[in-house]
Structure 1
Amino acid sequence: MPPYTSVIDVHVILHRKDGLIALLERQGTGYCDGMLHMPSGHMEEGEPAHEAAAREAQEEVGVGIDPGHLALGAVVHHRQAPGHARMGLFFVATVWEGEPRNAEPGEAAKPVWEDPRLLPSNTIPYPAAGVRAWLDGAGFAPHGW
């Protein structure tokens, strides 16, 4: 039997001192348009996970993050469909340079700041599971299995 493979996603929880986190409304992507998600994306070949997370934050919301300032907050093993699973690494950033903005206008609307304990109902369930696992201190959560 061939080894199991999975897409690895990186998610960045931009967490302000007031407790709020940044979310973006997806638009124009064909996947969950109109729903909220934090900056995220896929790892690239030869890229360490924390560097991928910093890159995605720069690309999506225009903030600079030193990868050494990212802490792993949670891991979510998400089953999107039979035969298609994703491993989501949720990194928490409390220090970054710049003000989050929509750096990819074809894919998202402007960032909004929300209370992670009261995520809006239009938050995509997979990243919402990562935020809950981070808040609960669980470290790991299966989702969609």
Structure 2
Amino acid sequence: MRPHPNVIGVHLVFERAGRVLLGLRSSTSPYAASTWHLPAGHLEDESATACAVREAREELGVTVHEQDLRLVHVVHHRDPEDHGARMQMLFRVLDYEGTPTICEPDRCADLRWWAYGALPTPLVDYTAVALTGIAAGRTYTEMGWPA
């Protein structure tokens, strides 16, 4: 078997008072248009925590320090449309400076705090699975792989 590359996504889990911050993707977004999702981005030539710090600044205008991130869940999934392998890393943000705001209106139309027990729809499928896993104390999920 040959090695198979995986796209790596890095997601930020901001929590307060039992609620999680989600963004509504823009209706013109090329990915998951008009769907709720965590603040996130793809890993570039950087560490996963450096990516999380960069995405927090670029998407939300907040400052996060690497020592204030905790890996809380990983989703390894195969995309049902393009069959691409993806590894999604979710980092809980323990502390940050600033107020989350929409900094990329072409990608995000709204930001809201949602209770884990009352997540919005539509919600990106692996995001829903990961948030359910986090609430249940699980750290890993697989989706879309043949049995």
Q: Shorter-normalised TM-score: what interval?
A: over 0.9
For residues 101-120 of structure 1, what are the structure 2 equivalents within 5 Å? Answer: 101-120=101-120
Count of residue correspondences: 143
| Aligned-partner Cα distance in 2 for 1:117–1:39 | 19
**2:50 paired with 1:43:** no
Letter in 2 for 1:54: V
Give secondary structure in 2 for the equivalent of 1:98: coil
Structure 2 partner of 1:34: 34
Moved over 6 A (4+): none
Deviation at 1:68, TM superposition (A): 0.9
Look up the equivalent residue of 2:76 and give its one-letter code.
Answer: H
Match of 2:65 in 1: 66
Residue identity opposite 1:23 in structure 2: L
- Counterparts of 1:1-145 in structure 2, within 5 Å, are 1-16=1-16, 18-27=17-26, 28-45=28-45, 47-81=46-80, 83-145=83-145
Structure 1: gaps of 5 or more residues? none
Please report how far the alpha carbon of residue 50 of structure 1 lies from its aligned counterpart in structure 2 after TM superposition.
Answer: 1.0
TM-score (structure 1 length as normaliser): 0.92
Aligned Cα RMSD in Å?
A: 1.3
Query: In 2, Cα distance between the equivalents of 1:25 and 1:39?
Result: 10
Q: CA deviation at 1:58?
A: 1.2
Structure 2 unaligned blocks of 5 or more: none
TM-score by length of structure 2 reads 0.91
Deviation at 1:94, TM superposition (A): 2.6
CA–CA separation in structure 1 for the residues paired with 2:59 and 2:92: 16
Deviation at 1:61, TM superposition (A): 1.1
